[in-house]
Amino acid sequence: MGDYKIKYKYFPLVIIMTMVLTFLCGCGGQGQAQKKPVSNNGNRQEVKIAVSLADLERDGNQIFKRTMSGRQGQGGQSGGQNDQGGQQGKQDQSQNQQAGEMVVPVQAGGGQGGQGSQGGQGQQVNITWLDAKNDSAKQEKDLDDLIKQKVRVVILQLVDPSAGPRLVRKLAQANIKVIALETLPANSPLDGYIASDHARTGELQSRYLLSAAQGRSAPLKAVVLQGDKNDQASREITSSLLENLKDQAQVQVVLVKDHPAGDPQMAKTTLEQALTSTNNQIDAILITDDRMGTGVAEVLKNRGLSKRIVTIGAGAGKQASQALAAGEHDAEVDVMPELMAQYAYDAAVGLATTGHWQYDKQIRNGDFDVPARITPVRLITRNESYLLEQRWGKPAAGQEGGQGGQPGQRQQSSQDKGQSSDQSDQKKVGGGQGDQGGGKKTTLRVTTQDGKTMEMQINGEIKKIETMDGAGGGKSDGGDQGQAGSGAGGQGGSGS
C-alpha cells in the first residue's frame, strides 16, 4: 500500500516531464524546418533584381553597368555565390559579358540609411543583366523569361516607349516591382522613375548657344537634331531648348528634325540636306541624342566645316569627350550616368527588401503618382574636359589639341562677348593655319559679289592667291593676297 502511494505521488511529475520533452522535440523539429528555406548564402537574404537595357553598347549604359557592379566591393566580400553553386572569378566575369547574373553582397537596406537592417545581417543581391540590343521584341521576351525566375525588381530602359505600358503591367501582374530609367511609360503603375534633368539639359544647351551668338551682326542660324520622337528624354530636351530660345532675336532656329532610334545615318542625311539647301550657311548644331554625334562630326569634317560651326551635344559619351579635349567640339551636357546608377541600385534593393525607397519627388503619370529621382547634369567645355577623365581616361597623345590653337579659338568664338560675327568667323577659319605651328591645313572661305560662299581645305600654308577673270584676266598679288591671307592665316597670333 505504501509503494502504491509513492508511485501515485510521482505520477503527475512523470506526465509533466513527458509533455515538456515532447514540446522541446517538436520545437527542435520546427527550428530545423525554418532553416530549410535559407539559401546557401548562410544568414544573408537573397535578393534578385534585373536590369533590362535598350542597348548595352551605348557609352552611358556601359558606365551604368560598371557603377552598379562596382557596389559589390561595398559589401565587404569579394566574389559571392549564385544559385548555380557559387561560380566566381572568371566565370562571373564571363556571365556579366553575356548579360548573365552577377551576385553583389551589400549592407542591409541597400544603402537606404539602414532600412531593413536586422542584427547587422545583409542581403545577397543577385543582378541579372539583359541587353535588348535595340530590339523591342527581344526585350519583351527577356522580360517574360524573368517572370519565371522570381525576380523581385526590374530596372527598365525601354527600347520602344510605346510598348512601355504593356510591359510594365505584365511585370506588375507577376508581383515584380518596376523602376523606369530615363523614359516614363505613359499612365503606368510604376514603383519608381529615375532620370537625368532633361529640362536643365535643354536650358544649358540654349545658354551656351546664346553666349556664342552675342556680339554678332546677324542672327546665329541653328539646326536642332532631335532623337526619336517617342524618346521622352530627347523630346523634353528639345522642348526646353526651344522654350529658352523663344523670342531671342540673336538666334534663328532654321530646322528641328527628329530621328527614329537616334539613327546616326539619318542624322547625317538631315545635316547634309540642311547644309546643301543653305549653301553651308549654318552656324550651330545642337544634338539631343548622343548616338548622332559621330554622324554629325563626319559630315562637318568632310565638308571642312568643323572649325566654323558650333556644336553642342548631350550625353558626354566617349567620342564626344575626346572631341572636346581635342578642341573639335564646343560643348557637351554630361548626364552623369554614374549618379543615376547609384540611385537606381539603392532604389532596387530598397524596394526588394523593404518595399520602399528614398525618392525626392512624385510625378503625375495619368492615373498614377510615381516616386521619382531627377539627377543633376552639367555643361562641359574643353576647359572642363578634365572632369570626364575619371570616366574615359586621359586623352591619348596628340588628342589634347594645339597650344592656343583651334581649341582656344573655339572657346573664344563661342564665349567671348563683344566680338563681331566676322571676327568670330575669322578666328575659326584662321585657326586652321596660323596656330598649328607650320599650318598643316588651311581652310579658305570665298564669298562672291552675289553672296555665294564656298569653303575648301588646303594642305600647307598659303603663299599667294591669284584671281583670274573670264577673259583670261590678270593676277592680283598684293592687295588680294593680303586680304585673303588675313582670312586664312592672319588670325593666328590673336588666337593664342
Whether residue 403 lies inside any domain: the answer is no
**How far is it, in rounded angstroms, from Cα 357 to Cα 194?**
12
- Asked if 308 and 359 sit in the same domain, the reply is no
pLDDT score recorded for residue 481: 39
pLDDT in tens, 294-323: 899 999 999 999 999 999 999 999 999 999
How many domains, the chain?
Answer: 3
β-pairing, 284-287 vs 368-375, is unpaired
**How far is it, in rounded angstroms, from Cα 372 to Cα 361?**
5
> What is the end-to-end Cα distance of the chain in Å, rounded?
123
Whether residue 410 lies inside any domain: the answer is no
pLDDT score recorded for residue 180: 98
Give me the sign of the Cα torsion angle 37, 40, 45, 50: negative
Whole-number Cα distances in Å, 237 to 99, 318, 350, 377 = 30, 20, 30, 12
Checking if the pLDDT of 275 tops 50, the result is yes
- Asked if 330 and 366 sit in the same domain, the reply is no
Place of cell 572649325: 307
pLDDT score recorded for residue 20: 57
Lowest mean pLDDT segment, chosen from 161-165, 375-379, 415-419? 415-419
- Asked if 164 and 56 sit in the same domain, the reply is yes
Selected residue with higher pLDDT from 231 and 133: 133
pLDDT grade for 485, boundaries at 50, 70 and 90? very low
Which amino acid is it at 2? G
Q: Taking residues 235-245, what's their average pLDDT? A: 97
CATH number, domain at 68?
Answer: 3.40.50.2300
- Asked if 130 and 156 sit in the same domain, the reply is yes
Dihedral angle at the C-alpha atoms of 71, 380, 371, 121, nearest 10 degrees? 10
Query: What would the DSSP string read from start to end of 300-360?
Result: HHHTT-TTTSEEEEES--HHHHHHHHHTS--EEEE--HHHHHHHHHHHHHHHHHTS----S
pLDDT averaged over the chain?
A: 75
pLDDT score recorded for residue 299: 95
pLDDT score recorded for residue 49: 94
**How far is it, in rounded angstroms, from Cα 313 to Cα 234?**
11
pLDDT grade for 150, boundaries at 50, 70 and 90? confident
pLDDT grade for 42, boundaries at 50, 70 and 90? low
393 φψ region: left (φ > 0), alpha (ψ -120 to 50), beta (else): left
pLDDT score recorded for residue 214: 93
Lowest mean pLDDT segment, chosen from 13-17, 89-93, 259-263? 89-93
Q: How many CB atoms lie within 10 A of CB 399?
A: 13
Dihedral angle at the C-alpha atoms of 276, 279, 280, 281, nearest 10 degrees? -130
Selected residue with higher pLDDT from 5 and 373: 373
pLDDT score recorded for residue 441: 60
Whether residue 163 lies inside any domain: the answer is yes
Checking if the pLDDT of 381 tops 70, the result is yes
131 by DSSP, 3-state: which? strand
Whether residue 172 lies inside any domain: the answer is yes
Q: Taking residues 267-284, what's their average pLDDT? A: 96
The cell for 187 is 499612365
Give me the sign of the Cα torsion angle 484, 485, 488, 491: negative
Whether residue 175 lies inside any domain: the answer is yes
Do 186 and 367 contact (CB within 8 A), yes or no? no
Whole-number Cα distances in Å, 331 to 51, 239, 282, 284, 312 = 31, 19, 17, 11, 5
Give, in degrees to the nearest 5, the angle at Cα 276 between 272 and 279. Answer: 135
Show Cβ contacts of residue 471 under 8 Å, excluding neighbours closer than 6 positions: none
**How far is it, in rounded angstroms, from Cα 351 to Cα 171?**
14
Do 274 and 329 contact (CB within 8 A), yes or no? no
Q: Taking residues 369-391, what's their average pLDDT? A: 95
DSSP-derived secondary structure letter, 121: B
Q: Which residue spans within 418-494 are E strands per DSSP? A: 441-447, 453-459
Lowest mean pLDDT segment, chosen from 264-273, 348-357, 479-488? 479-488
**How far is it, in rounded angstroms, from Cα 341 to Cα 63?**
8
Report the percent of the chain where pLDDT is more than 90: 54
426 by DSSP, 3-state: which? helix
Could you list the residue range(s) of the whole structural domain that residue 286 is in? 198-335+378-392
Whether residue 168 lies inside any domain: the answer is yes
**How far is it, in rounded angstroms, from Cα 335 to Cα 290?**
11
292 by DSSP, 3-state: which? helix
pLDDT grade for 122, boundaries at 50, 70 and 90? low
pLDDT grade for 453, boundaries at 50, 70 and 90? low
pLDDT score recorded for residue 231: 86
Checking if the pLDDT of 65 tops 90, the result is yes
Do 200 and 360 contact (CB within 8 A), yes or no? no
- Asked if 317 and 208 sit in the same domain, the reply is yes
Place of cell 562672291: 448
Selected residue with higher pLDDT from 14 and 476: 14
Place of cell 522570381: 150
- Asked if 274 and 258 sit in the same domain, the reply is yes
pLDDT score recorded for residue 23: 56
Whether residue 253 lies inside any domain: the answer is yes
pLDDT grade for 45, boundaries at 50, 70 and 90? confident
Checking if the pLDDT of 223 tops 60, the result is yes
Dihedral angle at the C-alpha atoms of 443, 447, 451, 453, nearest 10 degrees? -30
Whether residue 280 lies inside any domain: the answer is yes
Do 313 and 321 contact (CB within 8 A), yes or no? no
pLDDT grade for 9, boundaries at 50, 70 and 90? low
pLDDT score recorded for residue 468: 54
pLDDT score recorded for residue 401: 52
pLDDT score recorded for residue 124: 84
- Asked if 364 and 438 sit in the same domain, the reply is no
Nearest to 135 by CA among 238, 57, 188: 57
pLDDT grade for 98, boundaries at 50, 70 and 90? very low
Selected residue with higher pLDDT from 462 and 295: 295
- Asked if 180 and 249 sit in the same domain, the reply is no
pLDDT grade for 36, boundaries at 50, 70 and 90? very low
pLDDT score recorded for residue 495: 39
pLDDT score recorded for residue 87: 37
- Asked if 144 and 233 sit in the same domain, the reply is no
Which amino acid is it at 75? G
**How far is it, in rounded angstroms, from Cα 159 to Cα 55?**
8
pLDDT score recorded for residue 204: 98
Does the pTM surpass 0.75? The reply is no
- Asked if 300 and 205 sit in the same domain, the reply is yes
**How far is it, in rounded angstroms, from Cα 421 to Cα 400?**
27
- Asked if 240 and 178 sit in the same domain, the reply is no
166 by DSSP, 3-state: which? helix
- Asked if 226 and 143 sit in the same domain, the reply is no
Checking if the pLDDT of 94 tops 70, the result is no
DSSP-assigned beta bridge partners for residue 121: 118
pLDDT in tens, 181-221: 999 999 999 999 999 999 999 999 999 999 999 999 999 99
pLDDT score recorded for residue 435: 40
